[in-house]
């Protein structure tokens, strides 16, 4: 009996340890490119807008894997927002991964390089980090009980901009996500005519399926969301768009008692409708 009890305790410990998030560096040899020093505007933004749960000065990006007790084979890489200056790593990061884990999806927090807002193309380094993360997840798919053809990317705000660029601007084809989830993403409208997408930004005919959610009272982001959806519709690509009456910006997983707080349920329904919530074959 004592031996059986000891084995039960050890098994319980092993299960608990297996469920602990696993962190991996994306670029063990060092990330490509050079990070620019902070401008005064960036310093001021960090000083006035960063909170206790935000992360910045990330030059060694990582992924943190939140493994469900019973993984269904689908994984979603989560890219928090923060204006390409910092990462809102809790309500747009760890809490999202925990929610995904609760529905059987392996949530993977992407800590991409910041700040990059002072660069000519602020999304470039974060997009490179996301592409590397997708490749790394597929590399470990068997070990983590994942389907390499069911790897999604979920982005909030700047993370949604990152998603739009990786889905449309196209880095290496092997690093594209199989689907995307964009929550209040933007930053790809024409600066002079906000009823159009910026020059050079187009949705290719084979863009990955996309779920889009935004609040009507979130500045120009509902326009960006709608134009992106319309381009998907033009190509007869799978997409779903939700524009909620109220909710503002930056809510993430917070319950601010607004209609937009229903986005996780709608997203889970979309994942199921697309066939990504069942056990991987």
In a domain, 4, yes or no: no
Cis status of the peptide bond prior to 115, with omega within 30 of 0: yes
Asked whether the predicted pLDDT for residue 7 surpasses 60, the reply is: no
Residue 190 domain-assigned? yes
In this structure, is residue 280 part of a structural domain? Answer: no
In a domain, 7, yes or no: no
pLDDT of residue 3: 42
Q: Looking at the domain assignment, is residue 12 inside a domain? A: no
- Whether 73 maps to a domain, the answer reads yes
pLDDT tens, residue by residue, 206-250: 999 999 999 999 999 999 999 999 999 999 999 999 999 999 999
User: What pLDDT is attached to residue 174?
Assistant: 54
**Three-state secondary structure string covering 159-193:** HHHHHHHHHHCCCCHHHCCCEEEEECCCCCECCCC
Q: How many separate domains does the chain show? A: 1
Share of the chain above pLDDT 70, in %: 91
Which pLDDT belongs to residue 16?
Answer: 38
Query: Given this model, what pLDDT does residue 175 score?
Result: 83
Any domain includes 225: yes
SS3 37: coil
Tell me how far CA of residue 130 lies from CA of 53, 167, 178, 225, 251, in angstroms: 21, 11, 13, 21, 22
- Structural domain of residue 150, as residue ranges? 24-273
Question: What's residue 51's pLDDT?
Answer: 86
Coil/strand/helix, residue 100:
helix
- Read off the pLDDT of each residue in 166-184 and give the average, rounded to a whole number: 84
Residue 232 lies in a domain: yes
| CATH code of the domain covering residue 57 | 3.40.50.1820
> Is 123 a residue whose pLDDT tops 80?
yes
Lowest mean pLDDT among 1-10, 13-22, 54-63, 140-149: 1-10
* Burial letters 134-172, b for 16+ CB under 10 A, else e: bbbbbebbeebbbbbebbbbbbbbbbbbbbbbbbbbebe
Q: How do beta strands 151-156 and 210-215 pair?
A: unpaired
Label residue 171 by pLDDT band (50, 70, 90). low
């Amino acid at each position: 009996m004592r031996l059986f009890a000891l084995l039960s305790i050890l098994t319980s410990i092993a299960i608990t340890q297996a469920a602990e998030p696993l962190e991996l560096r994306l670029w063990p040899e060092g990330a490509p490119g050079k990070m620019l020093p902070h401008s005064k505007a960036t310093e001021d933004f960090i000083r006035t807008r960063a909170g206790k749960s935000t992360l910045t000065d990330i030059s060694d990006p990582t992924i943190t894997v939140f493994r469900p007790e019973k993984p269904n084979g689908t994984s979603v890489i989560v890219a928090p927002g923060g204006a390409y200056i910092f990462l809102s790593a809790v309500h747009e990061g760890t809490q999202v991964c925990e929610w995904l884990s609760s529905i059987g999806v392996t949530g993977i927090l992407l800590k991409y390089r910041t700040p990059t807002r002072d660069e000519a193309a602020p999304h470039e380094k974060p997009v490179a980090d996301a592409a590397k993360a997708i490749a790394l997840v597929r590399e470990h798919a068997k070990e983590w009980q994942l389907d390499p053809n069911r790897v999604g990317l979920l982005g909030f705000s700047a993370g949604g901009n990152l998603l739009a660029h990786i889905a449309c601007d196209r880095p290496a084809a092997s690093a594209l996500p199989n689907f995307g989830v964009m929550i209040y993403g933007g930053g790809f409208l024409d600066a002079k005519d906000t009823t159009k997408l910026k020059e050079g930004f187009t949705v290719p005919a084979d863009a990955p399926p996309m779920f889009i959610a935004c609040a009507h009272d979130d500045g120009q982001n509902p326009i960006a969301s709608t134009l992106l959806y319309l381009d998907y519709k033009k190509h007869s690509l799978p997409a779903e768009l939700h524009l909620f009456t109220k909710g503002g910006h930056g809510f993430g997983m917070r319950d601010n008692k607004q209609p937009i707080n229903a986005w996780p349920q709608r997203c889970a329904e979309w994942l199921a409708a697309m066939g990504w919530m069942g056990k991987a074959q």
